[in-house]
Amino acid sequence: MNAMAVSPELPPALVTRDLAVGYRSRRERRAVLERVNVSVAHGELVCLLGPNGIGKSTLMRTLGRMQVPLWGSVQLGGRAIESLSASELAQRLGVVLTERVAVESLRVRQVVALGRYPHSGWFGGLSERDHEVVSWALDAVGAMHLADRDFGRISDGERQRVMVARALAQEPVLLMLDEPTAFLDVPSRVELMGLLRRLTRESTLAVVLSTHDLELALRTADVIWLLLPGGDVVTGAPEDVMISGAISIAFEGRQIRFHPEERSFRWLTGERGSARISGGGLRGEMVRAVLEREGYACVADGRPPRVSVQIDDAKWTVSADGTCATGDTFRALAAHVRSIPVQKEEETES
Amino acid sequence: MRTDVASMHALVSAPVAQTVCSHARREAAVLAGLCVALSAAFVLSLVLGSTHVPIASVIDVLLRSSTVDESSALVIESIRLPRALTAVLAGAALGIAGLQMQTLFRNPLADPFALGISSGASLGVAIVVLGSGMSVATVFGASTGLAGDALLIAAAITGALAVLAVVLAVSARVANPATVLILGLMFGYTASAIVTVLVGISSPERLMELARWGFGSFSGVTWQRLSLFAPVTFVGLGLAAVMTKQLNALLLGENYARSMGVAVRRARVLTMLGASMLGAVVTAFCGPIAFLGIAVPHLCRGLLGTSNHRVLVPAVVLLGGVVALIAQIVSLVPGNAGVLPLNAVTSIIGAPVVVAILLRTRRGAFAA
């Protein structure tokens, strides 16, 4: 029932061997990613990260047999993926796609029951056990109260949970989700990720999802697959990947830098010189955010820079070039900092 | 996972069972009501006509009682009964073809007409009729023998499939369903235009005859033709009946359907084949009958409150029959002065339905 109970000889949920994904035309094969060797254990939550256009969707589509690999192999629960029949595949792999589903006049329970497709007979009649699995799936995603609602009239977040329940009703070994949080607001995103995490903890289900939500992925996943420009795949626990510096390589542009301790990006700053903040706490952090946004690098100690900000209670005081200004809102602070004339560091040094 | 399922089931089954029952009850009630309506409309269409036959005699004829006078029996047996049966079959066929197209293209306005199937079938018919030198009257009026009828059906289906194949080939490159629909309409117009050209270069009386065929009618189908029309229709309807599972999965779109184990390409080809067969056979024998195909599935969804094909397919068959019979009965209104063109009647029923659909279509619903 849980990850601990998995017998060691059970094959992993997913293994790839020297997989190359990409597109083939009549004349040539154009690989987007090559030599991909990854595996997913039962009860593991994997997040696939990488900048746009690097091949996340192509990889997901290939793993889900929606696209043929250029070379190499994919094994799902110990079987080569191309050897599975359509319904054998659907019994092992549940998929949630990015596309919005527009269906009217179909109740949530019926949508979830469609997930029994690979298990039911010719006419799709459902057995007692099929109904039980549908109820279980609805309950597992916390959507039992929606069961009799019209699928076309529930919120985006609820709809995505129902699509997960539908995939669970297939009783898959592996659940694959392509940017499942794309249309969702922040609480729904966190909720959905929490749900997927709980599913991997409570059963042997393995989950692979692609996402742009870096911070949430780094906080939630067991394993990160990070696609780098050039076609390399870095895998490991979120912490392994962060400390390796690979995230900076994958995402960094000229204006942002990844800060592992915060699991997020910050503006690359300092084009207007440096500033020192004295007085800490939450307000200190806010002042720092304002200064970075305005182009100052914040330094803690060392040579006193041209601009320094003092925080007392709810007031800030900026000293720059011998002038002083004070105020209480961050907006006023930003406006004031912006009004300080730009001066090259070299000039002040000389 | 199984122990989980069992314990969950114990917790949740009671309240769920209740609501499932109430939905099932509504569906059963609607289907029963449609059966009653179909029987009533069927008998009514036998009673009404240019010569008056009392309802008691109609029932006697149906029960093969010998007490009815011969002329009434003849009117009912050789004219009204095949006409009524044709109406039921044609209504069911067009409704099912419309339902299949709407689900496949995930577009509420899809029907055999919109995708050019009917126009393609008309083209096939026109080519056979005008090319073979048969007059339309001999094809659509008097009996021409089974071989001629079979040729006609084959031509209609070939024409329908030809247009559909082009639409399909283009739709493989164009992802947007709305574009596909517009393409279908364009090919339909082209096919209709070719029919017009073909008719234009033939004699004026043929023009009249083809125009009359274009009005649509259930009256031209004799018992002999029914022996061909009925089996082809049953095959098409049967195909829809055995594919309800696939059609339901396709409600979520082709990608999701594939991920749940549907052989999408096969399902798509079979559905299109079935729909064009149904659309074509009706067009061949009754003329291009408008609007039934688009309106009936929507009326059924409204009545049943569901898109589930397991209930929709039987409901569409029944309601399609009812609506076709009503249209046929209404077309008799002028009395001895003749009949209204069937297409005028179906369009008068159908157009308000389409308007209502457009006004009702909410955010996200069938977003095209």
CA distance A108 to A148: 6
Place of tokens 């009965």: B329
Q: Residue A240 — very low, low, confident or very high, per pLDDT cuts 50/70/90?
A: very high
User: Residue A94 half-sphere exposure, CB side, CA atoms within 13 Å?
Assistant: 25
Burial group, residue A280, by CB count within 10 angstroms (0-12, 13-18, 19+) = exposed
Question: Are A3-253 and A274-349 in the same CATH fold?
Answer: yes
- In angstroms, the first-to-last Cα distance of chain A is 70
Distance from CA of A18 to the nearest CA of B (A): 24
CATH number of A274-349: 3.40.50.12150
CB-CB contact of A198 with A166 (8 Å) = no
CA distance B249 to B271: 13
CA distance B23 to A130: 19
Distance from CA of B242 to the nearest CA of A (A): 6
Of all residues in chain A, the percent with pLDDT exceeding 90 is: 37
Task: Give B207-265 pLDDT, tens digit per residue.
Answer: 666 677 777 888 877 888 888 889 999 999 999 999 999 999 999 988 899 999 998 88
- Segment (H or E) for A339: helix A330-339
Decide if B365 and A152 are in contact by the 8 Å CB cutoff: yes
Question: What pLDDT, on a 0 to 100 scale, did the predictor assign at position A249?
Answer: 83
Task: Give B181-218 pLDDT, tens digit per residue.
Answer: 777 778 888 887 887 787 777 666 666 666 777 778 88
Decide if A89 and B262 are in contact by the 8 Å CB cutoff: no
Q: Which tokens sit at B344?
A: 């005028």
Characterize B222-256 residue by residue with b for buried, 16 or more Cβ atoms within 10 angstroms of its Cβ, and e for exposed. Answer: beebbebbbebbeebbebbbebbbbbbbbbbbbbb
CB-CB contact of A345 with A273 (8 Å) = yes
Distance from CA of B13 to the nearest CA of A (A): 8
Instruction: Name which of A124, A147, A148 is nearest B245 (Cβ-Cβ).
Output: A124
Interface test with A, best of B26, B256, B360 (most A CBs within 10 A): B256
Decide if A103 and B245 are in contact by the 8 Å CB cutoff: no
Of all residues in chain B, the percent with pLDDT exceeding 90 is: 21
Question: What pLDDT, on a 0 to 100 scale, did the predictor assign at position B15?
Answer: 47
CA distance B210 to B197: 12
Contacts of B262 in chain A (CB under 8 A): 86, 117
Domains of chain B, start order? 2-360 (1.10.3470.10)
3-state class of A104 per DSSP?
A: coil
Distance from CA of B40 to the nearest CA of A (A): 29
Residues forming a β-bridge with A46: A208, A223
Other CB atoms within a 10 A radius of the CB of residue B189 amount to 12
Question: What pLDDT, on a 0 to 100 scale, did the predictor assign at position B134?
Answer: 54
DSSP class of residue A223 equals E
Task: Give B32-76 pLDDT, tens digit per residue.
Answer: 999 999 999 998 888 887 677 777 777 777 777 666 677 777 777
Sketch the domain layout of chain A as residue ranges: 3-253, 274-349
Q: Which tokens sit at B331?
A: 């077309």
Range of weakest confidence among A62-66, A99-103, A289-293, B67-71: B67-71
Q: Is the dihedral of CA A64, A70, A73, A79 positive or negative?
A: positive
Burial group, residue A173, by CB count within 10 angstroms (0-12, 13-18, 19+) = buried
Closest alpha carbon within chain A to B20 = A148
Contacts of A110 in chain B (CB under 8 A): 306, 308
Closest alpha carbon within chain A to B243 = A123
Question: What pLDDT, on a 0 to 100 scale, did the predictor assign at position A254?
Answer: 64
Task: Give B269-305 pLDDT, tens digit per residue.
Answer: 888 888 888 988 888 888 888 788 888 998 898 888 8
> SS3 for B142-167, per residue?
CCCCHHHHHHHHHHHHHHHHHHHHHH
Is A40 a residue whose pLDDT tops 90? yes
CA distance A243 to A258: 11
Mean pLDDT of A233-240: 92
Task: Give B107-140 pLDDT, tens digit per residue.
Answer: 787 887 777 887 888 888 777 777 665 544 444 4
pTM for the predicted model, two decimal places: 0.81
Instruction: Name which of B301, B305, B365 is nearest A102 (Cβ-Cβ).
Output: B365
Decide if A97 and B259 are in contact by the 8 Å CB cutoff: yes
ipTM above threshold 0.85:
no
CB-CB contact of A10 with A206 (8 Å) = no
Is B364 a residue whose pLDDT tops 70? no
Mean pLDDT of A319-329: 86
Query: Chain A to chain B, count of Cβ pairs less than 8 Å apart?
Result: 119
Q: Residue A343 — very low, low, confident or very high, per pLDDT cuts 50/70/90?
A: low
Which positions ≥6 away from B233 have C-beta within 8 Å?
A: B89, B90, B92, B93, B278, B281, B282
Distance from CA of A85 to the nearest CA of B (A): 8
Burial group, residue B351, by CB count within 10 angstroms (0-12, 13-18, 19+) = middle
Is B335 a residue whose pLDDT tops 70? no
Mean pLDDT of A149-171: 91
Task: Give A250-280 pLDDT, tens digit per residue.
Answer: 887 767 778 888 788 877 777 778 888 887 7
Task: Give A52-67 pLDDT, tens digit per residue.
Answer: 888 888 999 999 998 8
Superfamily of domain A3-253: P-loop containing nucleotide triphosphate hydrolases (3.40.50.300)
Instruction: Name which of A107, A118, A132 is nearest B260 (Cβ-Cβ).
Output: A118
Decide if A66 and B259 are in contact by the 8 Å CB cutoff: yes
Interface test with A, best of B26, B247, B259, B306 (most A CBs within 10 A): B259
3-state class of A326 per DSSP?
A: strand
DSSP class of residue B305 equals T
Distance from CA of B295 to the nearest CA of A (A): 16
CB-CB contact of A173 with A206 (8 Å) = yes
Q: What angle do CA B164, B169, B170 make, to 5 degrees?
A: 100
Range of weakest confidence among B75-89, B157-171, B288-302, B354-368: B354-368
Contacts of B309 in chain A (CB under 8 A): none
Distance from CA of A258 to the nearest CA of B (A): 36
Q: Residue A200 — very low, low, confident or very high, per pLDDT cuts 50/70/90?
A: very high
CB-CB contact of A176 with A168 (8 Å) = no
Decide if B256 and A105 are in contact by the 8 Å CB cutoff: no
Is B10 a residue whose pLDDT tops 50? no
Q: Residue A92 — very low, low, confident or very high, per pLDDT cuts 50/70/90?
A: very high
Inter-axis angle of helices B223-242 and B264-286, to 10 degrees?
Answer: 160
Determine the residue type at A154: I
Q: Max CA-CA distance within chain A?
A: 86
CA distance A330 to A312: 13
Contacts of B305 in chain A (CB under 8 A): 105
Closest CA to B235 of B97, B68, B360, B59: B97
Which positions ≥6 away from B31 have C-beta within 8 Å?
A: B311, B314, B315, B318
Q: Which tokens sit at A95?
A: 């998929």
Distance from CA of B118 to the nearest CA of A (A): 27
**Residues of chain B in Cβ contact (below 8 Å) with chain A:** 1, 3-6, 8-9, 11-13, 16, 19-20, 23, 106, 242, 244-245, 248-249, 251-253, 255-256, 258-263, 301, 305-308, 310, 362, 364-367
